[in-house]
Amino acid sequence: MSGVFGVFEYYDKAVRGTEQEDSFVILQFLKGMIGSTFSFLNYYKEIPVSYDAKLLNVEHQMAEFAVHEYQAKIISMEKQTLIHKHPQSSIPEDMIAEAFYVSSPKKRVILCNFGYALIRSGMRRFVRVRLDNPVETELLFECDMLKGQVRDLSLGGAAITVSSADLLEPGLDVNLFLKLPDSTGNSTLEVGMSATIAKIIGTSSPYLCIVEFHAEKHSQQQIAYYINQRQVEIIKELRDIR
C-alpha cells in the first residue's frame, strides 16, 4: 500500500549516511541491547497496534524479536514495522525495518534493512478509522452539490473520494452531510456540519478530498458513537485474523 491510505502516511524516512550505513549503525546499536524491550508500531485500518517487543538476537544483519501475537499479524500483512526510539539510544530518530520472517503462532519476527524514521502519526489529534463500507456524503456549495464516499473518518475530519474536483479548492468552506448507517445497517443517520477543504489528492478521477470538520457538539457525539462502533469491529477483526 502507498499514498494516503498506506503505511507511508505514518512516517517520514530519514537518512543520516547512506541507507546501508544507517542499517549497519542501527544493528551495531541493537547488538548491545539484546534482552531489552522496544515499542513496535503498526496500523490496522487506521487503528494503532503497538506492543512491546523483546530483542532476542542479532546476527547476519538481522534482528529477532519476541512480539505480541497481534503485532505479528499486522507485520505479516504490512511486511514492515515502525519502532519507537529507545530511551537508551543516542540517536534521536525512530526506526523502521522490513520483515524477513514472521510467525504469529510463535510470536516471533526477524527484521532486516533497518532505517531511521520520524513517526508522524503520533501527532494526530483524533482517532481515525478506515471504513470497509464507505459512508455516503454530500458536499454543498453555493450553487451546486457534490456526492462522495467517506473512506477514513475521525472526529476532526474525513478523507472522501469524489468523481470530480472542479468545485474543490483548498481553504474553501462547505456544508457537509454524512449519512451514517446504524448498527443494524437498516437505516441511516444524516449528520450535518460545516467543513473546510484541506487538500485534494489525485490528478484524475476518483480524487481524494481531505476535509476538516467544524461540527457542533451534537454532531460530534453522533460521529464519536459511530467511530467507537467501528473501532470495536476492527479490533474484533484483528483478533480473528489467522
Residue-level pLDDT at 5: 35
| Residues whose CB falls within 8 Å of the CB of residue 143, separated by 6 or more in sequence, listed in order | none
Domains of the chain: residue spans and CATH: 3-123 (2.30.110), 128-240 (2.40.10.220)
Three-state secondary structure of the chain? CCHHHCHHHCEEEECCCCHHHHHHHHHHHHHCCCCCEEEEEEEECCEEECCEEEEEEEECCEEEEECCHHHHHHHHHHCEEEECCCCCCCCCCEEEEEEEEEECCCCEEEEEEEEEEEECHHHCCCCEEEEEEEEEEEEECCCCEEEEEEEEEECCEEEEEECCCCCCCCCCEEEEEEEEECCCCCCEEEEEEEEEEEEEECCCCCEEEEEEEECCHHHHHHHHHHHHHHHHHHHHHHHHCC
d(CA 121, CA 124): 6
d(CA 66, CA 43): 19
Q: Do 59 and 11 touch, CB atoms closer than 8 A?
A: no
Residue-level pLDDT at 105: 93
Q: Please provide residue 69's backbone torsions phi and psi, each rounded to the nearest 5 degrees.
A: -55, -45
Confidence (pTM): 0.79
Q: Do 151 and 69 touch, CB atoms closer than 8 A?
A: no
Residue-level pLDDT at 127: 80
Residue-level pLDDT at 115: 95
Would you write out the chain's pLDDT as a tens digit for each of its 242 residues? 233 333 346 788 888 889 999 999 999 999 999 999 999 999 999 888 999 999 999 999 999 999 999 999 999 999 999 999 998 888 778 999 999 999 999 999 999 999 999 887 665 677 889 998 889 999 998 888 999 999 999 999 999 999 999 889 999 999 999 999 876 667 888 999 999 999 999 989 899 999 999 989 999 999 999 999 999 999 899 888 87
